[in-house]
Amino acid sequence: MDDITALIKGATAVPKELKEKEKELKKKKKSGSSSSSSSSSSSSSSITNISSYTVVDSSIIDSIKARCKKDSSTLEDVARYLLLDLSNNHGVIRLRALNIINTLFIRSNTFRTIISNDIKTIARCAGLIKTDTTPTTIANSYQKEVDIKVKELIELWDVSYGSYYPQIHAVARYLRESLHIDMPNIRDRTTQHVNEIASRDNNAKRMILLRRNRIITELRDSFNDIVSDLNELEGCFSILFPLWSTFKNKDNDNNDDSNGTAKKGKKRTIWECDGEEIDNDNSDDDDDDGDDIDWIDGDNNNDDNDNDNDNDDILATDVGAATHDINITVPMSIKGIENSNNTILLKTMKELYKHMTRVTLPKVKEWIAVLDKALPLYDDITTTNANTDIISTQHNYEKKQTSDAIDKLLLFLRDAENLVEVRCKPLFHES
């Protein structure tokens, strides 16, 4: 909590430049009456424009927001420290605290609730609601700026959030109607601003939905061609590397075994020796002790001829060697595999590869991004039309259509990236 206290203290502190100007002003006031009157007027005019000193450094604001986002309970402490700063004698400290309060007020629902419960404290700091506490001379010199700022914030919060926070609306009405305080004409400007934002949002949503409709139409017309290009590239790759699918299937089988699809401890291997397949099925869960293998024993094979012994020797050798891994390096570049028999095939693959990387994949990713933006918009669509049920049914249909299109594109993107980025890229990245 000491960290957040230090952040708030640093955020609301009076800038050094302003402090120096205030000291200089005090010194001039203590000097001769003739020089004091002239110099103090010029100094006070320069200090009166204090808007630049009330702007809080963005890095400090970001640090406060990060702490509040990490731990929402920090918001209560932040609000308490800022509200205490509103009772400070220095007007600049109040203004800086008000700027921070407004920033957090707009961003956090929890912070809005805390501030709405203490809205009278904010009104008192500007003297709108009178108390026995009177500000000092320095605070009075900036009191006009504090009054204007508080009025603007209360009016702005009332227009934007008054319907959700009755305390704010009640204080705003009390100041306008009971105390007859001349509030700034921010209501009309705020209402206009809110309407402009809503209009821009609606236009943006409308544009997204229009793009969504074009994508759905384009998918219906061209998706089969896109899939056909991917299948053609897959077929060319399979012709060039026919064993790739075999290795891939074996890897999938191993993954299935590791995920528990096969019984633990059960191994089944087919060994091939001299054209014959030998089935080695270890169905027991016990460790393999070699009892199920017909090992060669020279003393007990007098009835076998020399050829049988040779075959048994090969079998024993093969069974023992089968437990070792064999790494085969396949040249994965055009220079390593191109010849007169596959030149046309490689040329076709290269054209398909370039089209997939430069056109198809970027387009599919863009489609997915637009559809992801369009999908949640159907939850926000409301209508007052008499045919509400018909329109709602249409929206539900379009929402499901969008969701299905996203799923289909994601599956295609997964397969396409596996083929293009993993398998084909090593072939063509140098060419």
The answer as to whether 221 is a domain residue is no
CA distance 111 to 115: 6
DSSP conformational letter for 385: -
Q: Is residue 16 scored above 50 in pLDDT?
A: yes
Q: Is pLDDT larger for residue 187 or for residue 399?
A: 399
The answer as to whether 239 is a domain residue is no
Count of the separate structural domains present in the chain = 2
Q: Are 18 and 50 in contact (CB under 8 A)?
A: yes
The answer as to whether 240 is a domain residue is no
The pLDDT of 8-35, averaged and rounded, is 80
160 shares a domain with 11: yes
As beta bridge partners, residue 355 has: none
The pLDDT of 119-132, averaged and rounded, is 83
Q: Which of 18-32, 53-67, 303-317, 318-332 has the highest mean pLDDT?
A: 53-67
Domain end residue (candidates: 306, 321, 336):
321
Instruction: Please state, in angstroms and as integers, the Cα–Cα distance from residue 68 to each residue in 30, 65, 128, following that order.
Output: 46, 5, 30
- Confidence at residue 132, expressed as pLDDT on a 0 to 100 scale: 59
CATH of the domain at 54: 1.25.40.90
The pLDDT of 300-324, averaged and rounded, is 51
273 shares a domain with 165: no
- Confidence at residue 34, expressed as pLDDT on a 0 to 100 scale: 46
Q: Are 115 and 90 in contact (CB under 8 A)?
A: no
Collect all residues with Cβ–Cβ distance below 8 Å to 227 and sequence separation of at least 6: 412
* Structure-block tokens of residue 179: 């105390």
Domain end residue (candidates: 184, 204, 220):
184
How many Cα atoms occupy the beta-carbon half-sphere of 81 within 13 Å? Answer: 21
Of 154, 12, 187, which Cα lies nearest the Cα of 84?
Answer: 12
- Confidence at residue 227, expressed as pLDDT on a 0 to 100 scale: 94
CA distance 218 to 214: 6
The pLDDT of 315-321, averaged and rounded, is 49
CA distance 63 to 60: 5
The pLDDT of 228-244, averaged and rounded, is 85
Q: What is the pLDDT of residues 265-297, one digit of tens each?
A: 444 433 333 444 444 444 444 444 445 444 444
Backbone phi, psi, residue 281, to 5°: -110, 105
The pLDDT of 184-213, averaged and rounded, is 80
Q: Is residue 232 scored above 60 in pLDDT?
A: yes
CA distance 285 to 173: 82
Q: How confident is the model at residue 313 (pLDDT cuts 50, 70, 90)?
A: low
Q: Are 102 and 153 in contact (CB under 8 A)?
A: yes
81 shares a domain with 180: yes
As beta bridge partners, residue 273 has: 276
The answer as to whether 193 is a domain residue is no
As beta bridge partners, residue 281 has: 268
Q: How confident is the model at residue 82 (pLDDT cuts 50, 70, 90)?
A: very high
- Confidence at residue 268, expressed as pLDDT on a 0 to 100 scale: 41
Q: Is residue 141 scored above 70 in pLDDT?
A: no
164 shares a domain with 31: yes
Task: Look up tokens 């918001």; give the residue.
Answer: 75
The least confident of 20-29, 169-178, 181-190, 308-317 is: 308-317
The pLDDT of 374-401, averaged and rounded, is 78
- Confidence at residue 183, expressed as pLDDT on a 0 to 100 scale: 78
Q: What is the pTM of this model?
A: 0.46
Q: Are 420 and 361 in contact (CB under 8 A)?
A: yes
Domain end residue (candidates: 269, 302, 321):
321
* Structure-block tokens of residue 237: 């790759």
264 shares a domain with 179: no
The answer as to whether 201 is a domain residue is no
Q: Are 145 and 95 in contact (CB under 8 A)?
A: yes
- Confidence at residue 307, expressed as pLDDT on a 0 to 100 scale: 53
- Confidence at residue 414, expressed as pLDDT on a 0 to 100 scale: 94
261 shares a domain with 178: no
- Confidence at residue 269, expressed as pLDDT on a 0 to 100 scale: 38
The least confident of 143-157, 208-222, 359-373 is: 143-157
Q: Is residue 369 scored above 90 in pLDDT?
A: yes
Q: Is residue 128 scored above 70 in pLDDT?
A: yes
12 shares a domain with 108: yes
Length of the chain in residues, anyone? Answer: 431
Range of the domain at 153: 2-184
Q: Is residue 332 scored above 70 in pLDDT?
A: no
The answer as to whether 411 is a domain residue is no
Q: How confident is the model at residue 52 (pLDDT cuts 50, 70, 90)?
A: confident
